[in-house]
């Protein structure tokens, strides 16, 4: 009897598809993530685990089920999984790339525009009844058109963000693990990281979380940025030293920030939610009906292929 364990409820089309191939589809019934002990208890009798980035799958979790065939992450990232140990055990790990690229790029731009033009501050002003009419100096923000956009990590999402910048007449600079990126269909310059921090009016982060990128943006890097600049992070929270960012925003070292991810998610650094010049989103980069459904269907396709002993569409190990 085949069985798949799903750590949080997914869009119904994916559950229906899985039910057509697995004898049992068990979905976490709680309105929260399982803790480690709960996950281990639920995992012991399944063939495939379909999990989220918020579910740590370490050696102890993997060892709790000697018959586990695959781990399907409902995310592009997979730093929550001990990839090397899974490979050593012969367990396939998959993710859901590509399908969320454009949607996440949309959200990065939503944060960029909201932070630059102080949209959230304006919304709050109106809701508390403090708007008294048009004023010449009311909530002055920063122009976006014609400015310099710096992208850290010119992968799929970084490219999608850059292409949107072309329509705003922006100059695009970037820093990437492979520089320069070949065959770009828009003008862009590959620069050293310090140069990017100094030159960019807007910086958007799209790098993966690795030991090398943890706290890639810290107090030193923030000190290089223009006081008129805006920092956007829709990648991984720990890439930014959140406490250093709080100080930079509080002291006017940079103009504003927009964050969809956090260093110790869902907790926030002390003082961050009190700052008016930061736009905070609850990790909703891929949160459209179309994209979350496409992610779930891709994760389902991966799980079904693993069950059949076939190569899944998007393996990472």
Annotated catalytic residues are 236, 265, 283
What is the rounded CA–CA span in Å between residue 146 and residue 70? 48
Q: What does the block give as tokens for 134?
A: 């048009």
Angle, helices 156-166 vs 101-116, to 10°: value is 50
Largest CA distance in the chain: 70
**Could you tell me if 76 and 264 are in contact, meaning their C-beta atoms sit under 8 angstroms apart?**
no
Residue 283 φ/ψ region, left for φ over 0, alpha for ψ in the -120 to 50 degree band, beta for the rest: left
- What beta strand segments (E) does the chain contain? 3-6, 24-27, 48-51, 70-73, 92-94, 148-152, 171-175, 189-190, 202-205, 230-233, 256-259, 278-280
Chain centre to alpha carbon of residue 235 = 4
What is the rounded CA–CA span in Å between residue 92 and residue 312? 9
């Amino acid at each position: 009897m085949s069985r798949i364990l799903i750590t949080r409820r997914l869009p119904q089309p994916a559950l229906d598809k899985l039910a057509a191939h697995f004898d049992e589809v068990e979905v976490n019934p709680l309105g929260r993530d399982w803790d480690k002990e709960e996950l281990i208890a639920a995992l012991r009798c399944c063939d495939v685990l379909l999990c989220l980035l918020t579910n740590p799958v370490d050696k102890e979790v993997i060892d709790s089920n000697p018959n586990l065939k695959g781990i399907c992450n409902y995310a592009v990232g997979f730093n929550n999984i001990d990839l090397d140990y899974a490979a050593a055990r012969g367990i396939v790990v998959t993710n859901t790339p590509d399908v969320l690229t454009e949607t996440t790029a949309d959200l990065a731009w939503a944060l960029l525009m909201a932070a630059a033009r102080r949209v959230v501050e304006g919304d709050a002003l109106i809701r508390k009844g403090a708007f008294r009419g048009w004023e010449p100096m009311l909530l002055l923000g920063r122009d976006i058109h014609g400015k310099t956009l710096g992208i850290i990590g010119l992968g799929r999402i970084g490219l999608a963000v850059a292409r949107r910048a072309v329509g705003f007449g922006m100059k695009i600079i970037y820093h990437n693990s492979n520089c320069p990126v070949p065959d770009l269909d828009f003008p862009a310059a590959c620069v050293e990281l310090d140069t990017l921090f100094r030159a960019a009016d807007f910086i958007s982060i799209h790098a993966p979380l690795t030991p090398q990128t943890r706290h890639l943006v810290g107090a030193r890097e923030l000190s290089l940025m223009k006081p008129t600049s805006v920092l956007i992070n829709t990648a991984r929270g720990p890439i930014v030293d959140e406490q250093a960012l709080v100080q930079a925003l509080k002291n006017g070292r940079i103009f504003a920030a927009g964050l969809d991810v956090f260093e110790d998610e869902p907790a926030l650094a002390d003082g961050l939610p009190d700052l008016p010049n930061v736009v905070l989103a609850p990790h909703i980069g891929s949160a459209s009906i179309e994209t979350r459904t496409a992610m779930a269907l891709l994760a389902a396709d991966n799980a079904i292929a693993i069950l059949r002993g076939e190569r899944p569409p998007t393996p990472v190990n």
